[in-house]
């Protein structure tokens, strides 16, 4: 965002990734790589690997990967520009910005942040000092929040006046466009500025860097919506913001846990109770973008709201996140139907006890169901078993499902096999259609083309890519037609079309980028001469492609199959005898056949069979 590409490249080249990573973990040299315990997930056996030549890291445990800029972003929780600026200062590099566009954008953003900050100060003074703020002060006292709490969270009061904020800020030098673009006012039909918030208790919202970007306003009357949030602006995107995160980030990282609430006062209650790692969404449901923000800060997410009322859709999304990001969702043991802020007002210690008693998501839902069930009769236990089976069936892990089946069977005095059959029947029910808004982020919509991440990788194709990355001069004869798998084929295309490996990495995405980054930190396990090893790798690849071509020619009754068969037999004899000079010659001849056969006759080899994957 605004930094010239050349300067970003200079920062990458000037940063010693081994030295940078060593500031956060102990690295040990193993061959050409450095390995250590991953800083992004708990582990006892080192799986974090650094390639100092390419300046890349990869964790074989949690799949964390990237370069020096990515490492700083993940470890220090910065955005891209902040990370580049941090590394540039470390390397003594003066950065240049795109003055024509991005520099103006950065300046504009700073002005909008300044405008929101001025509004925050205005609202805050009214709450603390002005007579018209009395209604908000009385409301806060009724909820148990005193003046110290109002100061700690910079709460404010938006007056009832038509344009009180607009007039105040314009007198202080802020323009109409500043107010409108910051989401604080809008131009009405009379072409006058009108305040966005009026007669509301104001909760300021900050981004991850601690800069004020917007507000959540609560009405203290029955008129209008209960909560109103800032409109989407250049600095306020509610799908990426979490209330209280700028203050809670350090505690979240230190504890490895985040408490997720539904409302602003809930966050305040947890913080005042002694749980400063609480955050809340800003008037929207917890979404993928929020989880992308949190997943690198903590591996345990405690839901501090009624997860049972959230229903089946919430359960499915939590299970998806648990699987994809290796996190654990717990549910705080709060009284049903009560907000955390109300619980705190009556007994502040109750919130901490609720966190201590938090249970896994599925266990919580089952406990709620059984607590409301009639377990004193056969019919009641049967109904509870049917409903519980529906909850268990949603969980994606067969082992977890079976553990709950056995536990429920004992509780409900029902045969475990019968309950297991009920769960299986529930899982066989057709799934309802999933709309785009609730599709998991890595799932393709119907008709959308994407590289399947679960496609099995053919080992010989992967090994050829490994050699192409670490010793490209040894495999110049590789051809796209040799790669049958979509992921390995796309990875080779990226390498073949790029000037450097880093360029190829930048162009790739999804499982293709994952594969390239993983191979970049794996050493070639070669005992003898590299030339012989590379020749063997290419020969194995060409032999498999030629076998596919031969099958197609035979099926088509094509007499050229005789010559392809002869060359294949000679290649096998040469490879078996270790005659790599002959193998290289035959490999080149067969490669020409593979390319010619696929191009001229429309003959294309399909995917390797299971027998070919080795």
Handedness of CA 576, 581, 582, 588 (dihedral sign): positive
The strand pairing partners of 193, in sequence order, are: 187
Residue 394 has pLDDT above 90, yes or no: no
- Mean pLDDT check: name the lowest of 99-103, 359-363, 364-368: 99-103
* Cβ neighbours for 116, distance < 8 A, ≥ 6 positions apart: 182, 183, 184, 204, 212, 213, 214, 215, 235
Residues 340, 269: contact at Cβ < 8 Å? yes
Collapsed DSSP state (helix, strand, coil) of residue 523: coil
Cα–Cα distance measured from residue 450 to residue 512, given in angstroms and rounded to the nearest whole number: 11
Distance CA 467, CA 451 (A): 23
Maximum average pLDDT range among 112-116, 205-209, 305-309, 403-407: 112-116
pLDDT tens track for 271-283:
999 999 999 988 7
186 and 197 in contact (C-beta within 8 Å)?
A: no
Close Cβ partners of 346 (under 8 Å, ≥ 6 residues apart): none
Mean pLDDT score across all residues of the chain:
83
Q: Are 186 and 178 in contact (CB under 8 A)?
A: no
- Lookup: tokens for 14: 């000037």
Which tops the pLDDT comparison, 122 or 563? 122
Least reliable range by pLDDT among 182-186, 227-231, 387-391: 387-391
The pLDDT-based confidence of 563 (bands split at 50, 70, 90) is confident
pTM of the model as a whole: 0.58
Return all residues near 487 (Cβ < 8 A) that are at least 6 apart: 451, 452, 453, 455, 457, 511, 512, 515
Residue 228: which H helix or E strand, with range? Answer: strand 227-229
Q: How far apart are CA 15 and CA 10, in angstroms?
A: 9
Confidence check: pLDDT of 609 > 70:
no
Residue entry with tokens 């890349």: 56
Q: Tell me the per-residue pLDDT of 569-606, one tens digit each, with 9 for 90 and over.
A: 887 777 677 776 777 787 778 777 776 654 444 443 34
For range 214-231, the mean pLDDT: 90
What pLDDT score was predicted for residue 451? 38
CA-CA distances (angstroms) from residue 501 to 49, 464, 491, 529? 17, 15, 11, 24
- Residue 452 clears pLDDT 90, i.e. is over it: no
Structure confidence at residue 3 as a pLDDT band (50, 70, 90): confident
The predicted pLDDT at position 432 comes to: 43
- Residue 599 has what pLDDT? 42
> Both tokens of residue 418?
């019968």
Reply yes or no on whether the pLDDT at 166 is more than 90: yes
Q: With beta carbons less than 8 A apart as the criterion, state whether 184 and 167 touch.
A: no
Q: Both tokens of residue 425?
A: 């029947």
Place of tokens 């974090």: 48
Average pLDDT over residues 259-284: 92
**Per-residue pLDDT, 610:** 38
User: In the prediction, which pLDDT does 213 show?
Assistant: 95
Q: Which residue has the tokens 């992004």?
A: 40
* Separation in Å, CA 460 to CA 474, 479, 488, 517, 610: 16, 14, 10, 18, 13
> Which pair of structure tokens corresponds to residue 121?
């100060």
Strand 242-243 with 200-206, pairing: unpaired
Cβ-based neighbour number of residue 284 at 10 Å: 12
Dihedral sign, CA of 19, 21, 23, 27?
A: negative
CB atoms within 10 A of CB 149: 18
- The values of phi and psi at residue 261, to 5°, are -110, 175
Task: Give me the sign of the Cα torsion angle 358, 350, 200, 276.
Answer: negative
In tens, the pLDDT along 537-561 reads 888 888 887 888 778 778 778 778 8
Give pLDDT tens digits for 25-83.
Answer: 888 988 888 999 998 887 888 999 999 888 999 999 888 899 999 999 888 777 888 88
CB-CB contact of 182 with 233 (8 Å): yes
Angstrom distance (rounded) from CA 24 to CA 394: 39
Phi, psi at 141, each rounded to 5°:
-60, -40
């Amino acid at each position: 965002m605004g930094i010239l590409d050349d300067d970003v490249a200079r920062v990458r080249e000037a940063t010693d990734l081994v030295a940078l990573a060593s500031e956060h973990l102990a690295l040990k040299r193993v061959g050409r790589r450095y390995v250590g315990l991953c800083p992004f997930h708990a582990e006892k056996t080192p799986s974090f690997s650094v390639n100092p030549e390419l300046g890349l890291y990869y964790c074989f445990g949690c799949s964390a990967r990237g370069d020096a800029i990515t490492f700083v972003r993940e470890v220090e929780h910065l955005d891209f520009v902040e990370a580049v600026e941090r590394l540039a200062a470390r390397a003594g590099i003066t950065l240049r910005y795109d003055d024509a566009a991005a520099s103006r954008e950065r300046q504009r953003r700073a002005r909008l942040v300044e405008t929101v900050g001025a509004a925050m100060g205005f609202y805050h003074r009214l709450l603390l000092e002005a007579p018209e703020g009395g209604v908000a002060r009385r409301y806060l006292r009724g909820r148990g929040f005193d003046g110290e709490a109002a100061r700690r969270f910079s709460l404010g009061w938006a007056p009832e006046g038509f344009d009180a904020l607009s007039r105040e800020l314009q007198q202080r030098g802020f323009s109409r466009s500043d107010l409108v673009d910051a989401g604080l006012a809008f131009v009405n039909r009379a072409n006058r500025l009108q305040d966005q918030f009026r007669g509301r208790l104001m909760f300021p919202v900050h981004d991850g860097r601690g800069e004020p970007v917007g507000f959540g306003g609560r009405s203290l009357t029955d008129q209008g919506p209960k909560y109103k949030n800032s409109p989407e602006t250049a600095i306020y995107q509610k799908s990426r913001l979490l209330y209280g995160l700028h203050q809670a980030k350090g505690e979240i990282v230190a504890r490895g846990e985040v408490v997720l609430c539904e409302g602003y006062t809930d966050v305040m209650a947890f913080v005042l109770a002694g749980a400063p790692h609480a955050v809340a969404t800003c008037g929207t449901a917890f979404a993928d973008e929020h989880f992308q923000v949190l997943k690198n800060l903590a591996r345990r997410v405690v839901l501090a709201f009624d997860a049972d009322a959230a229903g089946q859709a919430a359960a499915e999304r939590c299970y998806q996140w648990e699987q994809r990001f290796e996190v654990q969702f717990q549910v705080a043991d709060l009284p049903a139907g009560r907000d955390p802020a109300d619980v705190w007002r009556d007994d502040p210690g109750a919130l901490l006890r609720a966190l201590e008693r938090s249970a896994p998501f599925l266990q919580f839902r089952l406990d709620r169901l059984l607590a409301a069930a009639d377990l004193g009769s056969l019919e009641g236990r049967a109904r509870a078993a049917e409903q519980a089976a529906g909850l268990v069936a949603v969980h994606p892990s067969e082992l977890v499902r079976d553990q709950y089946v056995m536990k429920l069977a004992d509780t409900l005095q029902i045969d475990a096999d019968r309950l297991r059959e009920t769960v299986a029947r529930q899982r066989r029910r057709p799934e309802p259609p999933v709309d785009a808004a609730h599709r998991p982020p890595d799932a393709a919509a119907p008709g959308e083309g994407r590289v399947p991440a679960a496609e099995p990788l053919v080992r010989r194709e992967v090994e050829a890519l490994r050699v192409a990355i670490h010793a490209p001069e040894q495999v110049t004869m590789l051809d796209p037609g040799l790669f049958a798998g979509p992921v390995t084929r796309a990875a080779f295309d990226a390498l073949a079309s790029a000037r450097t490996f880093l360029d190829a990495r930048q162009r790739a995405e999804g499982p293709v980028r994952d594969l390239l980054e993983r191979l970049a930190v794996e050493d070639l396990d070669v005992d003898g001469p590299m030339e012989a090893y590379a020749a063997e790798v290419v020969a194995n690849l060409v032999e498999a492609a030629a076998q596919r071509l031969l099958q197609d020619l035979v099926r088509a009754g094509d007499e050229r199959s005789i010559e392809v068969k002869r060359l294949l037999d000679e290649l096998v004899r040469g490879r078996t005898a270790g005659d790599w000079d002959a193998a290289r010659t035959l490999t080149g001849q067969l490669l020409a056949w593979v390319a010619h056969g696929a191009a001229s006759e429309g003959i294309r080899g399909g995917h390797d069979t299971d027998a070919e994957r080795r």
